Chain A
């Protein structure tokens, strides 16, 4: 049944490798305890259920607010209503982080930072390019 519902449809499940990785990251501190495969599969199901639960609750909240889009705010409220208020601060932080990353780095700084070069290097590169361009045109 469970296989049919989740395992069968890969799209509606979480990637096993990712889950396994996260589990081992969580368990890295605790002396050599590992997750069995079945436990991991159950865990994945639980995760999917959790997502579904949160999203349907959030959906309801958003509908109550006459919003068509489920926003982060609705997730927060859903978490609170569903008995996971302790997750809220971290979720907020993650959302804020993401927002900041979206805003700040991607648009502005990225070009310089992504290039991974110092200004001097960029300069040199530019000069080379200029030289090449000049050579092409002469």
Chain B
């Protein structure tokens, strides 16, 4: 360290001096011509006052700086003058040099390499071996700077990968996410993509095209398995009912549509909470990371449907306030929500206790409730009226209230 300060000013002499001391062999002439390139990039650092002398001498060994080039370099190392000479390095060297060189070079940094990521950067990245060397070296002499260096240093990779993909990404930025989605097994939302799946491969890079093709296949399979008919029905229903989902959903046969309404809901449920609720059921074991998010989204849609419908009921009744009763009415109006009947049944009892005139719209249902209160399972199933799934659901709800293992009986 002591030599550093002195070293910088009188570099040529000192460098040769050091060499002899540290590793005499490395300073031998034969090595110089080969490594002329490397020294150019790395030299600046060594001569910079910051760097500890020990690391300096180490690096010298394999990257022998020929005295002449070293002398040339020296001026650039001075922080002030560095920028101008920095550009002299040329496109190929410039970036690599910058990495090593940062203290002085920082100013000129973005111009050749980063901002103009297209040409300069890829060129610089091309020789990987050089960079690796530099990476290895950096820790040695850069303790103070390291944090900032990494900040600077990580971006290049982005740009680099980005360069390869820019052409594809500009076109396919959005579609990118979808193959993955489709691979999860159902109809992928393709509204942002070109209308037909067949057109994707053209625009996509091969890798992605393959993924998309696979995804499309999976999606088609899933669609056919999962009764696309009900799909369309449901979609049309939602299109009518919820104002937010205004755009019509075309058939799932083409795999193209499923316009996803811009959800009015910006707030997200806490996924941790959702996960906890899911796992409150002892039978539920591990839950994938994405699952609570999917459930949260479904829950959001569920809420949107429930809330908008109940708001409609409130409007019909000229009420500004959605009461529990209205919510109950909505829930009981649709078999889709029959698993909630157990909840609203209790609710209504509560409400009638409170003196709400809740029975008004629900006399018919009240009778039904009387039945169902006898045996929750059967009542729920009968109330569901809809096929298999509905009965199951109601039974689930019923059993859950009793704290029993809910699924086994149903199965």
User: With a CB–CB cut-off of 8 A, which chain A residues contact B284?
Assistant: 55-56, 59, 70
Closest to B354 in A: A38
Beta-carbon contact of A30 and B308 below 8 Å: yes
Cβ contact of A137, chosen from B4, B151, B269, cutoff 8 A: B4
Question: Which of B189, B281, B291 has the most chain A CB atoms closer than 10 A to its own CB?
Answer: B291
- CB proximity of A67 to chain B, nearest CB, Å: 9
A98 to B290 Cα, complex, angstroms:
8
B-contacting residues, A56-84, CB 8 Å: 56-60, 68-77, 79-84
Indicate the member of A15, A79, A96 with the most B CB atoms within 10 Å.
A96
Q: How far is the CA of A15 from the CA of B144 in the complex (A)?
A: 46
Residues from chain A with Cβ under 8 Å of B243 in the complex: 29
- Number of B residues near A (Cβ < 8 Å) is 128
Decide if A15 touches B273 in the complex (CB within 8 Å): yes
Shortest distance between the CB of B246 and any CB in chain A (Å):
11
CB <8 Å contact, B226 and A54: no
Q: Interface extent on A, as a size class?
A: 35 or more
With A14-B269, A39-B324 as known contacts, state yes or no: A56 contacts B407, CB within 8 Å: yes
A2 CB, nearest partner CB in chain B, Å: 6
Residue among B280, B302, B310, B337 with most chain A CB within 10 A: B302
Q: A14-B277, A72-B294 are in contact. List 16 more A-B contacts (CB 8 A).
A: A35-B307, A43-B327, A50-B302, A51-B277, A52-B400, A55-B278, A69-B285, A69-B288, A71-B291, A86-B238, A90-B301, A111-B151, A123-B106, A129-B147, A132-B144, A138-B50
Residues of B within 8 A of A (CB): 1, 4-5, 48-50, 79, 102-104, 106-107, 109-110, 114-115, 144-145, 147-149, 151-152, 154-155, 157-158, 161, 176-178, 180-182, 184-189, 226, 230-231, 234-235, 237-238, 243-244, 258, 260-261, 263-267, 269-270, 273-274, 276-281, 283-291, 293-304, 306-308, 310-311, 314-315, 319-324, 326-328, 331, 335-337, 339-340, 342-344, 346-347, 350-351, 386, 389-390, 393, 396-397, 400-401, 406-407, 411
